[in-house]
A and B are shown apart, each in its own frame.
Chain A
Amino acid sequence: MEYFLHLITLFAIYAILGLSLNLVVGYTGLLSATHAAFYGIGAYATALLLTVSGLNFFFAVFLGIILTSLIALSIGSVLSKFRDDYYALGSIGFCIITFSIFLNWQDLTRGPLGISGIPRPDIFGLSFSSSILFALLALIALGVTFLACRGIVRSSFGRVLKAIREDEGAIQVFGYRTHTYKLLVFVISAAMASVAGSLFATYVTYIDPSTFTILESVFILAIIILGGLANLRGSLIGALILILIPELLRFAGFPAEIAGQTRELVYGLMLLVLMLRRPQGLLGEYKL
């Protein structure tokens, strides 16, 4: 049961990351690799606020969202002037810089030692220290994120995002300042990633920079590419499959020393087959 609840919690965290990244990549057509950075900023902000200041979890999450949004606003102001390859390269650069800060700003982040002893959420005396309550909390956060994303993509704003993805120059001549749309969706997406980071930090109660590398961004991208770009249910399916695969491999009897590499091999093969046979992903409506 504990193991099952662990999988549900991980699924919910990665589904939040997938849904939020899909807004930028699938709906707006901007290939962003920044997500691990915002996930990490949310995680570190929450971890520090909880361990150093002893703030309430929900207040810490809120401050994490504010901080992540402000950082997303500043980096997004630059990135939103670009698209395609330049956007992707800029986003990779930001992710690498953020990882370096997590690793090297030792006074704040404790560098490679990481931050341990992060308390589980607590609200009005109700502690989310049990696996079932934490899984429930993660699922509620996923539900809220899903509804927020659905509201965005079904709004007129969401329709403009799709038009930007299809032909940014053409939609501009109809009076849209596309830079603002790209910036806002980027900030919203980063704020959602921050919530996932807060949940992750308080779930595992220990974080270090190794979780928030560029490979994590690639993993989140793989979730939405597998599940389907510009499809919210696709992000859920992508997260479910990619969280379950390593767990299934665990039962395949591979020696521990090659299990990790086998997982990478399976991800690579899956993406290769998808790119060849179904580039829009399982439920996707758009091809990169």
Chain B
Amino acid sequence: MEKKDQKKPALAVQNLTKHFSGVLAIDNLSLSITQGAITSIVGPNGSGKTTLINTLSGIFKPEQGTITVQGRTVPPLHPHDVWHHGITRTFQNTRLFEQMTVLDNVLVVLTKRSVIPSLLETKDDTHYDQAKQVLAATNLWEKRDQLAANLSYGQRKLLEIARSLATDADIYLFDEPFAGLFPKMVTVVFTILRSLKQEGKTVVLVEHDMDLIRKISDHVIVLDSGTLLAQGSPEQVLSEKSVVEAYLGQ
């Protein structure tokens, strides 16, 4: 993974554009994500939040625009490239390895990335300890031998977060990590996000819950119809008239 420079934005996009069958999902968007901060991306449904996350993680190819990671413009990303740039993510609709155990869901991202060394790698205590640590942090250690398919909705969300934490990335893209969680689980995720920030990691959240956004975000970006509507501190942005009109329809 690349070394981070605190002065440069962790992530930036310049003139990013993405269409889906004639529908403009991201429209000439330019924005930057501050290093070591928690940035929330908000906006009404269809505003381009998840499309932006998917583009930043190489799942969608933009038709136009550039992406800069830690100050360096990167060529069009493939999904397998993003980890090498120190980026990890969770998905809006959880994408776990259903017929694998909770422990294996985490261990698999700790494996050596080269094919031949991974073929020779069998049991690694270091990886096991790392997996134990992230599963304990997400209260899933007791469930380690269960299949991911048998977890509750909230536990599935937590396992996705645990899987991302195991990568020890610099930039975390969390797509609606709080959606559908019980209050106790919300506290767990809250604690994880705070500790990531303390470690100097960059967190990008796509979230709808305004109270949570106010409590945890350092910076808020508001998207509407694929364009940047507003950005700034939570208090400043969430009280802006244009934001209230676009987001709450008032």
Contacts and interface: CB of A to CB of B under 8 A. Distances in A.
Contacts of A230: 99
Contact of A173 (B57, B107, B112, B119): B57
A110 B127 CA distance: 55
B99 A156 contact: no
A166 B122 contact: no
Nearest to B147: A285
Contact of A174 (B83, B120, B122): B83
A160 B108 CA distance: 6
Interface in B70-129: 78-84, 88-89, 91, 95-100, 104, 107-109, 111-113, 115, 118-122, 124
Contacts of A170: 91, 95-97
B80 A172 contact: yes
A154 interface: yes
A167 interface: yes
Contact of A176 (B88, B113, B124): B113
A168 to B, nearest CB: 9
A123 B121 CA distance: 34
Contact of A155 (B96, B98, B120): B120
A176 B97 CA distance: 14
B100 A166 contact: yes
A173 B98 contact: no
B80 A157 contact: no
B55 interface: no
B59 interface: yes
Contact of B108 (A152, A163, A285): A163
What bracket does the count of chain B residues touching chain A fall in?
A: 35 or more
Nearest to A177: B80
Contacts of A178: 80
Contacts of A286: 99
A174 B167 contact: yes
A170 B96 CA distance: 8
Contacts of A255: none
A155 B91 contact: no
B82 A166 contact: no
Contact of A171 (B84, B88, B108, B167): B108
B5 to A, nearest CB: 22
A174 B78 CA distance: 11
Interface in A160-193: 160, 162-163, 165-167, 169-178, 180-181, 184
A156 B104 contact: no
Contacts of B79: 169, 172-173
Nearest to A175: B83
Interface of A is mostly: helix
A159 interface: yes
Contacts of A175: 80-84, 113
A7 B131 CA distance: 47
Given A174-B88, A178-B80, A162 B99 contact: yes
Given A163-B100, A166-B99, A171-B108, A176 B80 contact: yes
Contacts of B81: 175
B200 interface: no
B121 A156 contact: yes
Given A171-B97, A285-B99, A156 B118 contact: yes
Nearest to B78: A172
Given A167-B96, A173-B89, A177-B80, A159 B115 contact: no
Contacts of B95: 167, 169-170
A285 B104 CA distance: 15
B44 interface: no
Interface in B208-244: none
A162 B115 contact: no
B100 to A, nearest CB: 6
A159 B119 contact: no
Nearest to A188: B119
Contact of B83 (A155, A157, A173): A173
Contacts of A174: 83, 88, 108-109, 163, 167
A132 B192 CA distance: 64
B58 interface: yes
Nearest to B163: A174
A155 B100 contact: no
Contacts of B107: 156, 159
B98 A184 contact: no
14 contacts: A156-B119, A157-B119, A159-B100, A159-B104, A163-B97, A166-B100, A170-B96, A173-B79, A174-B163, A175-B83, A175-B113, A176-B113, A178-B80, A285-B99
Given A171-B108, A286-B99, 8 more contacts: A154-B122, A159-B108, A160-B108, A163-B100, A173-B89, A175-B81, A175-B82, A177-B80
